[in-house]
């Protein structure tokens, strides 16, 4: 079995990568406020957490293809599972609440 070829590693990478991408976007756009509490407050105040995070899920493609190219198929499945979990959350927040 290859190193880092586990479903849990793929799920963790797939869940963490969009949040990191969103934080980096926020840090580069609003460099005067780089605290994590300011980050959460900004997105909750303007109610754009769901649209912004749904766009940041695209960064999972990079992680997915890295796992595929290195033949870590279980981890790639975890990334797909995490992406589907984000899709379910976005659908819930946009249409059901």
The pLDDT, as a whole number, for residue 26 is 84
CA dist., res. 97 & res. 69, Å (int)? 39
Nearest to 26 by CA among 13, 36, 16, 17: 36
Going by pLDDT thresholds of 50, 70 and 90, the confidence category of residue 96 is confident
Ranking 18-22, 49-53, 61-65, 78-82 by mean pLDDT, the lowest is: 49-53
Per-residue pLDDT for 22 more than 70? yes
Exposed/middle/buried for residue 67 (C-beta within 10 Å: 0-12, 13-18, 19+)? buried
Top-confidence residue, 30 or 73: 73
User: What's the chain's length in residues?
Assistant: 97
Listed in sequence order, the DSSP H helices in 1-97 are: 7-29, 36-45, 49-56, 60-69, 73-91
Query: What pLDDT, in 10s, does the model give residues 45-76?
Result: 888 888 888 999 999 999 999 999 999 999 99
Per-residue pLDDT for 37 more than 90? no
The pLDDT, as a whole number, for residue 13 is 97
The pLDDT, as a whole number, for residue 41 is 80
């Amino acid at each position: 079995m290859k190193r880092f070829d586990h479903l849990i590693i793929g799920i963790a990478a797939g869940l963490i990568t969009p949040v990191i991408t969103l934080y980096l976007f926020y840090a580069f756009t609003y460099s005067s406020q780089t605290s994590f509490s300011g980050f959460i407050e900004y997105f909750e105040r303007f109610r754009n957490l769901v649209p912004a995070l749904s766009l940041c899920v695209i960064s999972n493609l990079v992680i997915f293809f890295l796992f595929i190219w290195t033949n870590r198929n279980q981890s790639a499945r975890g990334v797909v599972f995490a992406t589907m979990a984000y899709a379910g959350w976005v659908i819930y927040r946009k249409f059901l609440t």
